[in-house]
Amino acid sequence: MASNVLRGHAHTYGKNVDTDVIIPGKYCNIVDPAELGKHALEGIDADYTARMKPGDIIVADSNLGCGSSREVAPIAIKGSGTAAVIASSFARIFYRNALNIGLPIFESPEAVAGIAAGDEIEVEPATGIVRNLTKGTQYQAAAFPPFMQALIDTGGLLPYVERRLAERAAAN
């Protein structure tokens, strides 16, 4: 099995988990990921950071991350030690932000429907395969669009920006 397989227990939420409940506005002047992580999901689940164990997985219904463009939302989730987020669908800006900061996210309404709070979940980031070890079921998350997969494969947005800068320098 690949070494980067993620495994943890599921914490489940409904639809439209917005960025205000992921990291309330009053914490948005914080930039340190660990400090932000202490308040992850505080607006919807005040005990989340006390209850969760590093490596746990957030599972939510549709439109996760709607609302504010605050990048500290995925940073707070990652900073809390949460390994991944599985949702039926994601809001647009959150989706981009999560990939940019390296928070593993997976889109699969079937997986969300088949996971209950506390289930032990395993995710293979390379293939998008989600396994519910508690129930013995398996799901395939949606593939990333090819452009985004290429971004992910080459290390994310920053190496991409560095390549664009180098191309321009070479062209001049």
Question: How near is the Cβ of 124 to other proteins at its closest, in Å?
Answer: 25
Give the interface segment with other proteins, choosing from 47-55, 59-67, 76-84, 114-122 (CB under 8 A). 59-67
Verify binding: residue 152, other proteins, rule CB under 8 A: no
- Please count the residues of this chain forming the interface with other proteins, following the rule CB under 8 A: 43
Pair 86, 57: CB distance under 8 Å: yes
Q: Which is nearer to other proteins, 59 or 121 (CB)?
A: 59
Give the interface segment with other proteins, choosing from 50-58, 63-71, 79-87, 119-127 (CB under 8 A). 63-71
Question: How near is the Cβ of 67 to other proteins at its closest, in Å?
Answer: 6
Q: What is the 3-state secondary structure (H, E, C) of the chain?
A: CCCCCEEEEEEEECCCCCHHHHCCHHHCCCCCHHHHHCCCCCCCCCCHHHHCCCCCEEEECCCECCCCCCCHHHHHHHHCCCCEEEECCECHHHHHHHHHHCCCEEECHHHHHCCCCCCEEEEECCCCEEEECCCCEEEECCCCCHHHHHHHHCCCHHHHHHHHHHHHHHHC
Verify binding: residue 49, other proteins, rule CB under 8 A: no
Q: Which is nearer to other proteins, 43 or 81 (CB)?
A: 43
Measured from the Cβ of residue 1, the count of other Cβ atoms closer than 10 Å reads 6
Verify binding: residue 63, other proteins, rule CB under 8 A: yes
Cα–Cα distance, 111 to 131 (Å, whole number): 8
Site for other proteins in 77-136 (CB under 8 A): 89, 91-93, 96-97, 100-101
* Residues of the shown chain interacting with other proteins in the complex, contacts defined by CB under 8 A: 16, 18, 20-21, 24-26, 28-31, 43-44, 46, 62-63, 66-72, 75, 89, 91-93, 96-97, 100-101, 145, 147, 157-158, 160-162, 164-166, 169
